[in-house]
Amino acid sequence: MGASKKLFIFGLLLFVSVFAFSNALKFLPKDYSAILYIPDVPKAYEEFKALPIGQTLLADTGIGLESLVRGVLEQQLLSMKYTLDDFDLFSKEMLVVIDKDGNMTVVLGPVKSPTKVRKVLESFLEAETLKKVKFTENYFIYSDVQVGGGKVPANLLSNLKGNLGVTYSYVTDGKITFEGYGYMRIENNALTFYQKLDAKTADAKNVLKTLQNTKPIDIFADKNVGGDLLLFVNRPIPDVLRKTFLDALASNFNITNVNATGVMYLSADVGAAVSALLSTDTQTGNSKSSQTTPQVSISAYSVVFGTGFKMPAEVKKYVTIGSEKYGVLTTENGMESYILIKNDRMITYTVNPTKYKPGDRTFFTSIYDSKYFMGIFLNFEPLINTMLGKKVKSSAVFVSYIEGDSIIQKGTVK
């Protein structure tokens, strides 16, 4: 057999073997801008769980978050006369897609019984969220747009070798175009993410120069910034990038139909909320008379810069605090957010502003670099210290910065 024929057969076998488990990709929407594809979610989870950070956060010898989540889920399943086998939402593939307008699509599965999985989800998700959920060919699909019809990027599947997941981004407005692939893998006892987006046009290269030379805002001049979670974009970014990387997030914060510059930041104290939830859960468990499910809010504070902000239509209540008028947004489960509209920004608290106290910001300032134009910092150390009584350096950090004619996006969970 000739060498070229052997190569063809090998390539064909590789193609068939890869597509044998790539059914989720059939739901790629048209006009997508960013893709994350994980072909084997259980494998990715087990490899993360085997890491020191995974053991600390998930295992019963650590904080035991896996048992906590499993316990809540099993309790709900038991009340429905189901078992864990009936809720197999995360037992196969995961596909996350963002389109050119910032709409997000999530595909999970396939599942054995869409009917059972949907009934379980109805116990945990709000009605508005469920409206975007459907099951097709036993796949869970959460989306605002028509799925299917998108072409799989040429090198997406070949980049899976040696990686737990792959990414692809293609963002363009006609004149400004960026494109690149990335990966998710285990390296140096950490879960790592890397993606390189190359400027494909002269206008894209000029945009990067402007972005690099723009002075970032001073996030830490705001005394309300603190805690263990920080999300930021510290300078105006082009619309083509904002739509792909920010609009999906912004819509979840009721920030729509505004002239947003892209500049924003959010800080929160997640560890304190988790600790309070576990403490409340323990007290509830010891109280036979308790009939209510404990609710704990994450104390968060966010600022989004722009013009033309309007109160979300869902806001029905207003309160005056100091000299400022806040709109109060109440979710179905009774959680409240306080929204303040100013000429150039929208400010949101997830607790009453008079009760908000920013957490420590040392972790943020120790790793922040002004060259990062976008980032997410999450410090696990306070949570671990509260739960286990020992100090362990642990964090999740994701940043974006410019290097030559490319955008580098890196992440580490360790």
Residues 268-295 pLDDT 10s: 998 777 667 666 555 555 554 444 445 5
pLDDT digits (tens, 9 = 90+) for 290-329: 444 455 678 999 999 988 888 988 898 999 999 999 999 9
Split at pLDDT 50, 70, 90, the class of 87 is very high
393 in a structural domain: no
* pLDDT on residue 20: 42
Per-residue pLDDT at 22: 53
Confidence band (pLDDT; 50, 70, 90) for 21? very low
What's the pLDDT at 12?
Answer: 40
Cα-to-chain-centroid distance, residue 249: 8
Token representation of residue 236:
């105006």
Q: Where are the beta strands (DSSP E) in 25-124?
A: 32-38, 93-99, 104-109
> Distance between alpha carbon 180 and the CA centroid of its chain, in Å?
20
pLDDT greater at residue 366 or residue 254: 366
Q: What is the pLDDT of residue 289?
A: 45
Our CA dihedral for 371, 376, 381, 382, rounded to 10 degrees, sits at: 120
Residues 342, 279: one domain?
yes
Distances (CA, A) of 387 to 57, 126, 151, 375: 10, 30, 46, 27
Gyration radius from the chain CA atoms:
23
Question: Is the pLDDT at 10 greater than 60, yes or no?
Answer: no
pLDDT in tens, 100-153: 888 899 999 999 999 999 999 999 888 889 999 999 999 999 998 999 999 999
Q: How far is CA 276 from the centre of its chain?
A: 23
What pLDDT band is residue 17 in, cutting at 50, 70 and 90?
very low
Residue 222 lies in a domain: yes
Assess whether 375 and 412 both reside in one domain. Answer: no
What pLDDT does residue 282 have? Answer: 52
In a shared domain, residues 407 and 271: no
| Total number of domains in the chain | 2
Quick check: 408 pLDDT over 90?
yes
Residues 133 and 186 in one domain: yes
Domain shared by 162 and 108, yes or no:
yes
Does the pLDDT value for residue 155 go beyond 70? yes
Task: Quote the tokens at residue 14.
Answer: 């590789």
> Are the C-beta atoms of residues 171 and 241 closer than 8 Å to each other?
yes
* Domain that includes residue 60, residue range: 23-211+403-414
Q: Is residue 16 part of a domain?
A: no
CA distance 115 to 88: 12
Q: Is residue 18 part of a domain?
A: no
Residue 313 has a pLDDT of: 86
Q: What is the pLDDT of residue 288?
A: 46
- Do both 152 and 175 map to the same domain? yes
Asked if residue 343 is part of any domain, the answer here is: yes
189 plus 240 within the same structural domain: no
3, part of any domain: no
Mean pLDDT across the chain = 86
27 assigned to some structural domain = yes
Q: What pLDDT sits at residue 250?
A: 57
Both structure tokens of 410: 């890196």
228 in the same domain as 197: no
- Are 340 and 191 found together in one domain? no
Express as a percent the part of the chain with pLDDT over 70: 85
With a cut of 70, say whether residue 240 has pLDDT above it: yes
Question: The tokens of 37 are what?
Answer: 């594809």
Average confidence (pLDDT) over 28-47: 95
Q: 244-270: b or e for each residue (b if 16 or more CB lie within 10 Å)?
A: bbbbbbbeebbbeeeebbbbbbbbbbb
- Do 199 and 106 have their domain in common? yes
Same domain, 50 and 182: yes
**Is residue 127 a part of any domain in this protein?**
yes
Is there a single domain that holds both residue 227 and residue 351? yes
Q: Strands 259-269 and 336-341: what pairing? A: unpaired
